[in-house]
Structure 1
Amino acid sequence: MPNARNKAYEFVFLGGTNNTYAFITDQEVVYELKFKPSSYIFGNQPPFTEFAFEFVIEVAENPLPDLPPLDRLIPLTIASIFNDFFALKETVVVYICENADGRASSRNRKFNQWFERSSRTGLSFVKFDYHFGTEVDFFYTSIIMRIDNPRMADVITAFQALSANYNQPDK
């Protein structure tokens, strides 16, 4: 059900290893948002390991015959969940568009639309986009952090180095 105060769906924090949040849309579609601890992203080098998470959005249940329709409350709900999860300003989230079904480009476009729409609500987050891989086989990837993250420059430098190393052709 929508929360009248901020016009987002109510969500619950389920917790667990993956810091799972869940909400149900008006169409009875259940979404789960997970923030999986991902110290490996920065090569297990402090100070990033304890604050690095991979963000995953999953449709946990879909009673509809087709893909869930566009829903203007989803970006606001995701923004509310981000506000809740980013209590520590050092938190860094990496979003990698899954491509097993060839729909990474669509996921990337939708996520960017959600992020842009939620940024208009006054959130204090920044997002940096990267492409990993070759022109044929690559991943859309974003890092997201609070604008007041005291390690922002170090995080960006480390992620750019990771991107450059990943994008180098095999020798």
Structure 2
Amino acid sequence: MMTLNLQRVNACSPYVLQESSRPLLYEFITDYGIDYTIGFALSDLLPGVECYEFVIINSNNRKSLRDYKLRETVYALIYEFFSQPDAVMIYLCDTSDGKQEVRQRLFASWFYSADRKYSFNYLSSTITDDEGVENIVALLFRIDHPRAVQISGEFARAVQLFHEKPE
């Protein structure tokens, strides 16, 4: 199980994160009064690869403004996560309100504006489920990951499996 150094995260984060009752999840309140829970949950999307889904929850469902401090807080947590060379992260855009494309654009813009973007592999795909809902998934891992080729292949196979419809 992965561990993160919250003290190191808070030293780089404009918002102070507090541990939640669940491991690898952290809570904070923005200057705009929005309660967030962010962190990581173990995922089984890639067989044979220990990977974690990045989670970001607007707990009180208030409209989120363009808050650069939120972006910097997310960076601080993700950079701490990737301080471990074998870390693998998946991001699935929430589809509950049909705004998954907006979430994907925001996440991608955060990624491409990050100072350390060239330190990571970023793979993404769209998978349409049985109800016709487009699910957007992104995979991130360090370019120096010891199993980079295998992880890329596992991601491609997982995406392909979702594209193949059972007969």
**Shorter-chain TM-score range:** 0.7 to 0.9
When the two structures are superposed, what TM-score results if normalisation uses the length of structure 1? 0.79
- 1:12 Cα deviation from its structure 2 partner: 2.3
User: Any conservation in 2 of the 1:36–1:53 contact (CA below 8 Å)?
Assistant: yes
Kindly indicate which of the two structures has a greater share of residues assigned to strand. Answer: 1
Q: Identity rate of aligned residues, in percent?
A: 23
| Mapped pair 1:128 → 2:134 | no
Q: Which amino acid is the alignment partner of residue 23 of structure 1?
A: F
Aligned residue-pair number:
155
Partner of 1:56: 55
- 1:95 Cα deviation from its structure 2 partner: 0.6
- 1:163 Cα deviation from its structure 2 partner: 0.6
User: Any conservation in 2 of the 1:9–1:25 contact (CA below 8 Å)?
Assistant: no
Partner of 1:115: 111
Q: Secondary structure at the match of 2:150?
A: helix
Which of 7, 22, 25 aligns to 2:27? It is: 22
Measured at CA, do residues 16 and 160 of structure 1 come closer, stay the same or move farther in structure 2, by a change above 3 Å?
farther
When the two structures are superposed, what TM-score results if normalisation uses the length of structure 2? 0.81
Q: Which amino acid is the alignment partner of residue 33 of structure 1?
A: I
Mapping of 1:37-52 within 5 angstroms? 37-38=42-43, 40-43=44-47, 45=48, 48=49, 51-52=50-51
Partner of 2:8: none
Map Cα deviations across residues 140-162 of structure 1 (whole Å, 9 max, x no partner). 00001122211111101001011
Q: Which amino acid is the alignment partner of residue 55 of structure 1?
A: F
Runs of 4+, deviation exceeding 4 Å? 15-18
Which of 70, 95, 102 aligns to 1:106? It is: 102
Worse-superposed segment, 107-116 or 159-168:
107-116
Q: CA RMSD in A?
A: 2.3
